[in-house]
Amino acid sequence: MRFQKTTEYAIRVMVFLAKHKTDRFSTNHLHKVLDIPYKYLGRLMSKLSAAGFVDVAPGKTGGYQMVRNAEEIYLYQIAGLVEGLEDYDRCVLGFEECSDENPCSMHTIWVKHREGFKKMLYNTSLADLESGGSVKF
């Protein structure tokens, strides 16, 4: 299972901002450092700002900065904001109706992994990712 591109980008931006919590970054700077398409990034940052995850200041010295503590922001909040969490309950093989009563061939295996994945989303904060020592954003 992979995140959709929008969620990937949102997590990358938020981890970067968490690692640099006292600094402000322009959309252009974030675009260059994180290699996220500029127009796409602008729309994404608007969503993150509207949700209260980041603050934006206009002008030459302005830009985006994280306003909430990394310990307070969980991956499920970011994924829910940018793509919704419905995809994580869907059938992994794409069937409209897939349940314990009407399972696909992957259902029993997928349910275990899906629940683990969802648990990870609900239990992993940006602080967990930010403190991990990673160098890629």
* 54-74 per-position pLDDT tens digit: 999 988 888 999 999 999 999
Nearest CA-CA partner of 126 in 19, 5, 9, 6: 19
66 vs 71: CA distance, rounded Å: 12
Give 5-130's CATH code, choosing from 1.20.1560.10, 1.10.3720.10, 1.10.10.10, 1.20.1260.10: 1.10.10.10
User: pTM surpassing 0.75?
Assistant: yes
Query: 92-127, pLDDT tens digit by residue?
Result: 888 988 888 999 999 988 888 888 888 999 999 999
Domain ranges in the chain are 5-130
CA distance 108 to 98: 10
